[in-house]
Amino acid sequence: MSVQYRAVNWTRHKVVYDLVLAGACVAFVGVFMVMSMVVHPPPNEVSPPILVMRALGTLAIVLLHVVLAIGPLARLWPRTTFLLANRRHLGVATFLVAGLHAFVVYGFYGGFGVENPVLAVLVRPDGSVGFEFVGFLALLVLLVMAATSHDFWLALLGHGVWKAMHMAVYVAYALVVAHVVFGVLRSEKSLVFPLLLLGGALVLGGLHLVAGGREWRRDAASSDESEDGWIDVGDPHEIPDKRARVVCLGSGNRVAVFRDGDRLSALSNVCAHQGGPLGEGEILDGCATCPWHGYQYHTENGQSPPPYTEKIPTYELRVRGGRVEVNPRPNEPGTPTTPVSITEGGAS
Amino acid sequence: MAIAVIAIVFGYAGLGLLVAIPMCLVGLGRLDPAAAAGTWGFRVLSIPGVMVLWPVVLGRWLKRGKA
Ligand code: HEM
Ligand code: HEM
Ligand code: FES
């Protein structure tokens, strides 16, 4: 959307978000260390570098859970969408915290450069590898995503490829779980850690299943074809003003049918920015506005207002027998259409 | 085996760092007009990205150069 790229497109909202995030991270490390000192009083205390190491590792895995939970949460409770808009910052924060954790480990066990730190930590003297190596692989995956997170890379790769790369976050999650299971649970006798890990996995799995199931049912419910292939969208009066109804076409593409007063127009449901669900947004300043980061499109031609140049496909609509129908063949991105009136063709 | 993986990762990133210097100064701007006007912050921030994706960006830059 920007006409010129900068490092971070700071807005007031993002500054507040990042400050809160940074404050929460510092507080987490502090509370973790104090708690640990209470639970393990001298002479059984854990040395401070190891505590910092554990605090940062634990914070990283907590952040990873939050990142993974946001997607399905935002689908189930639209109120939490504001978390999603800044998921990128959360993702990068996860990487930075995990990197700091690894750095402290290298520093402590590698003697801050006395031995070759990379080899000292990752490879045992007999040439075998342990859980640290699995952590290293997880960190590499997070690095790839954080390094390519800027909108520039998104535009260069196209959001299909970029999104596919992002799915690697699940690989990172699996590696982190293995890292913790083999690294910590071996020596920790307490049941707290395995239970937390299991609980986290169950919550994440549950959220994804529920959100995915709901999406799937909605798609299955909404594709009645008429004889000439147009798809039924339903009674236009049921679409709330300034909002959209999303229907799934046989091809798997989704269309957002927006209502602005008594006029209806249809756009692709896929935002040109990062593929956000445009139809879950609303019409602001006369434009369909994506709920994720606020990209806007004129409803009648799918074009972003100048100076922005994004274009998304539009679709033809008609009203027959009091029901809206959409032609499943998309127009070229940015093609003007004529909005139809709710009552056109005679309401039943 | 592990040492081979580590050597490949670091070798790849090292080459990427070499590619990143001309890439962030000129190359990216040839690929995307909005990057040509990019700030210094953007250029520095692109270095790790180039280190990860350097075969892709280098390939696109060379193809662009010939066309
Ligand atoms: C360590 C780094 C990161 C982690 C752990 C992570 C995590 C995830 C996850 C879990 C998904 C897919 C799940 C879903 O669609 O609900 C995803 C997709 C996404 N990520 Fe990240 N991410 C990271 C970095 C970033 C960065 C740097 C960005 C910035 C662009 C970003 C923004 C997004 C967005 C907007 C999606 C949704 C894509 C779509 O559904 O089309 N994340 N990321
Ligand atoms: C090069 C990468 C990494 C190395 C070398 C590494 C190394 C270690 C080591 C040595 C420990 C044990 C600390 C102790 O003595 O108690 C540990 C624990 C841990 N690591 Fe990593 N790690 C890496 C990456 C990661 C990543 C990417 C994550 C998560 C995103 C992570 C999460 C954790 C967690 C949760 C613990 C357990 C903390 C605790 O004891 O309570 N690590 N790691
Ligand atoms: S996905 Fe970012 S604004 Fe739509």
| Ligand having the closest approach to the CA of A159 | 1
Q: What would the mean pLDDT of B29-51 be, rounded to a whole number?
A: 75
List all residues 6 or more positions away from A113 whose beta carbon is below 8 Å from its beta carbon: none
pLDDT of A1 over the 50 cut: no
pLDDT in tens, A97-142: 998 998 888 777 766 555 566 666 676 666 667 788 888 889 989 9
Residue that the structure tokens 């083999």 belong to: A182
Cα A192 to Cα A27, A53, A189, distances in angstroms: 21, 18, 9
**Number of the ligand 1 atom closest to the C-alpha atom of A172:** 5
What residue's CA is closest to ligand 3, atom 2? A293
Confidence label for B67 from pLDDT (cuts 50, 70 and 90): very low
**Number of the ligand 1 atom closest to the C-alpha atom of A292:** 35
**Whole-number pLDDT of residue A77:** 76
> Nearest CB to B34: which of A3, A127, A140?
A3
Between chain A and chain B, the number of residue pairs with CB atoms below 8 A apart is 73
A70, A89 contact by CB (below 8 A): no
Q: Do B34 and A146 touch (CB under 8 A)?
A: no
Q: Rounded distance, CA A1 to CA A172, Å?
A: 30
Which DSSP helix (H) or strand (E) runs through A50? Answer: helix A48-76
Q: In what order do the strands lie in the sheet containing A296-298?
A: A282-284, A287-289, A296-298
B58, B19 contact by CB (below 8 A): yes
Whole-prediction pTM:
0.71
**Number of the ligand 1 atom closest to the C-alpha atom of A84:** 35
Between residues B27 and B52, the one the model is more confident about: B52
| Ligand having the closest approach to the CA of A87 | 1
A101, A51 contact by CB (below 8 A): no
**Whole-number pLDDT of residue A297:** 94
Determine which of A23-37, A158-172, B30-44 has the lowest per-residue pLDDT on average: B30-44
List all residues 6 or more positions away from A55 whose beta carbon is below 8 Å from its beta carbon: A28, A29, A32, A33, A36
Between residues A77 and A297, the one the model is more confident about: A297
Residue in A244, A262, A327, A339 with CA at minimum distance from that of residue A301:
A339
Cα A115 to its chain centre, rounded Å, is 40
Q: Rounded distance, CA A281 to CA A271, Å?
A: 10
Confidence label for A294 from pLDDT (cuts 50, 70 and 90): confident
Pocket test for ligand 2, best of A46, A62, A180, A188 (most atoms within 8 A of CB): A180
Helix, strand, coil: what percent of chain A each, to 5? 50, 15, 35
Q: A99 in contact with B at a CB cutoff of 8 Å?
A: no
